[in-house]
Structure 1
Amino acid sequence: MAVVLPFETNEPSLDALLRLVKPDMDRVNATILARTGSDVAMIPEVANHLISGGGKRLRPMLTLACAALSDYRGEGHVKLAAAVEFMHTATLLHDDVVDESDMRRGKLAARKLWGNEASVLVGDFLLGQAFKMMVEVGSLTCLDILSTAACVIAEGEVMQLSAAKNTETSEDDYLAVIRGKTAELFAAACEVGAVLGQRPKVEQGACRSYGMNLGIAFQLVDDALDYGGSQAKLGKNVGDDFREGKITLPVVLAFRRGDAEERAFWKRCLEGGASDDAALSHAVGLLTKHRALSDTIERARHYGAIAKDALALFPAGGAKDALSEAVDFCISRAH
């Protein structure tokens, strides 16, 4: 069922980024563990089930790396990075409830173990802790950026809910969804690093642009992997987007390029819920026929190139190189 997606011969990694931020990331991880503590036993149980589940912690690493890129010398980046990770974890807990997902990061979703109510409420707890840490840092600008991001992420999720099962969704409509639900947190995570460093507005904007375009590229690769990847890479079941009736870019492209019979198939599966394994196999065939997966990856490369261009304002150095390779790594997941 899996298809081979186009790839380049080099093998980028997050190693340079990991080396750059390791001392601070150790402090972030300690902060995360401390802030999930509660006298209510279920809260750390649910939170740590997901937080310790093998996620890359890419978003908080981006906060730390952009702070390094901006020559920040204070302590606030540690709490803001932890806040960013809590925001991300909260959205995952909430998303799994909305999507009725069974798997997350390669193991049972929290909702399958503790129920939907606990997942939602622990997500709310983590959001509350995130905002407490933002306030403790004492930067109104950073608080504004991250609180605005929380609103935009929620708007993106509602937009996705509205677009679900709607095969008339356009590419522009879909890109608006992923800018909100995924890329906004990448953008905010990067921007606050530059704000802490008190960099000029143009450099703050460059960090935001880097994060936004990296976030779009990251989500587009995820979209392609749902049809052409593996469970190990996704951390969830391959084909979940299809089974849940989600309209993603590969589907938008295949639907537009298909004939009347093929469009009827997509409507029947995504709008009508007829999405068994045989239908998924046929869907992958149509996506391959119309180059929908490979073109989705090409679009991801396009946004990745914009992200790397945003770094041009900054002088050469380890932070810039690590952030640039992080773009290549996110896109390389497609193979």
Structure 2
Amino acid sequence: MGVVVQLSDARDPRASLAPLLALVEEDMGHVNRIILDRARSNVELIPDLARHLIDSGGKRLRPMLAVAAAKLCGYRGEGHVRLAASVEFMHTATLLHDDVVDESDLRRGKTAARLLWGNEASVLVGDFLLGQAFKMMVDVGSLGCLRILSDAAAVIAEGEVMQLITAKNTETTEDDYLAVIDAKTAALFAAAAEVGAVIANRPKSEAAGLRSYGRNLGLAFQLVDDALDYYGEQSMLGKSVGDDFREGKITLPVVLCYRRGNAIERAFWQRTLQDGEIGEDDLHEAMGLMQKHNALNDTMERARHYGAIARDALAIFPDCDPRAALLDAVAFCVDRPF
């Protein structure tokens, strides 16, 4: 089955990330060394489990945002590197917790840690990583950055609870779902970008601009992930196409299909996602409904909308290499291939 999704840029979106990668390469080397060092523990299981996820790849986009934002704001110290490592530890901890809640089998193309070490160990090692993240924030000595990242941690936890409430609920509205991803995904993107301005002691207007950039980039990133799950490349996803469907997740394409469908189609979504009765051909049927109701194109259109807001949020900054790299990062997030 083919699903036609128009992209806004014909070039390879992975090339759009090249300027950001080049900009942060040296600092990210320091970040990676800190991550490996802080994942150590005398309790053998902790580094084994943590390294399983840390070494499994991932673009480390969130810490790159923290580094690039600090460069955009002219920061000359070293605190941004520890803040970036803190952001990545917060993200890694969230992934460990997510896989337990979602009962996921794969993470970044590898067997999920929960299947190798168990749910309890995954949750506890996630807590260890969060503790290490906050220790690094304290080491930086910026009360403003500590407040931003600790607020983000609380919001992310709220998002997890909101997702539990909406799980398998086909009556979930688009506003409900946007509230979930705003908390679960966008909050950390926003905090990562904002601390770059705060560590550099820049004006509130610049901190607000970077926060808006990060938040809207995070929303766009998650919406594209929602669409890719129903028609994407497994190598790009780090999971099997259709995992959200098999796990009964209510994402935006489902919300749109359910709202636009007839009684028979709504019964299909209730049976598969709400009741968990998924047959061999049901993913094929779900993808057909996505095409019928234009759900993937419309999800991508919403992603582009938030991407445009992210670009506009950087307008207060002068033209420079960091600003250009952050703008290109929007193209990467929105135009990942189908």
Answer whether TM exceeds 0.5 for this pair.
yes
Secondary structure of 1:277's partner?
Answer: coil
Aligned partner (choices 257, 260, 271) of residue 254 of structure 1:
257
Aligned mates of 1:44, 1:102 — CA distance in 2? 20
Aligned mates of 2:114, 2:317 — CA distance in 1? 43
Cα distance, 1:45 vs structure 2: 0.6
Consecutive aligned runs of 4 or more in structure 1 exceeding 6 Å deviation: none
Aligned partner (choices 60, 66, 83) of residue 63 of structure 2:
60
Q: How much is the aligned-residue C-alpha RMSD, in angstroms?
A: 0.9
Residues 137-166 of structure 1: per-residue CA shift (max 9 Å, x gap): 001110010001000001011101100111
Which residues of 2 match residues 123-138 of structure 1 at below 5 A?
A: 123-138=126-141
> What is residue 37 of structure 1 aligned with on the other side?
40
Which residues of 2 match residues 249-288 of structure 1 at below 5 A?
A: 249-288=252-291
Aligned mates of 1:293, 1:82 — CA distance in 2? 34
Q: In the alignment, is the contact (CA less than 8 A) between 1:2 and 1:229 conserved in 2?
A: no
> What is residue 5 of structure 1 aligned with on the other side?
5
Paired-residue identity, %: 69
Cα distance, 1:4 vs structure 2: 3.6
Q: Which runs of 5+ in 1 are unaligned?
A: none
2:130 is the counterpart of 1:145: no
2:294 is the counterpart of 1:300: no
Q: In the alignment, is the contact (CA less than 8 A) between 2:70 and 2:199 conserved in 1?
A: yes
Q: In the alignment, is the contact (CA less than 8 A) between 1:67 and 1:194 conserved in 2?
A: yes
Q: What is the total number of aligned residue pairs between the two structures? A: 335
> What is residue 244 of structure 1 aligned with on the other side?
247
> What is residue 228 of structure 2 aligned with on the other side?
225
Q: In the alignment, is the contact (CA less than 8 A) between 1:254 and 1:292 conserved in 2?
A: yes
Residue identity in the other structure for 2:11: N
Cα distance, 1:2 vs structure 2: 5.9
Q: In the alignment, is the contact (CA less than 8 A) between 2:87 and 2:188 conserved in 1?
A: yes
Which residues of 2 match residues 183-198 of structure 1 at below 5 A?
A: 183-198=186-201
Residue identity in the other structure for 1:6: Q
Aligned mates of 1:130, 1:124 — CA distance in 2? 10
Aligned partner (choices 69, 75, 79) of residue 76 of structure 1:
79
Q: Which runs of 5+ in 2 are unaligned?
A: none
Secondary structure of 2:34's partner?
Answer: helix
Q: In the alignment, is the contact (CA less than 8 A) between 1:224 and 1:334 conserved in 2?
A: no
Cα distance, 1:11 vs structure 2: 2.5
Q: In the alignment, is the contact (CA less than 8 A) between 1:69 and 1:319 conserved in 2?
A: yes
Aligned mates of 1:67, 1:277 — CA distance in 2? 49
Check 1:137–1:2 CA distance in 2 against 1; reply closer, same or farther (3 A cut): farther
Q: In the alignment, is the contact (CA less than 8 A) between 1:5 and 1:228 conserved in 2?
A: no
Normalised to the residue count of structure 2, the TM-score between the two structures is 0.97
> What is residue 309 of structure 1 aligned with on the other side?
312
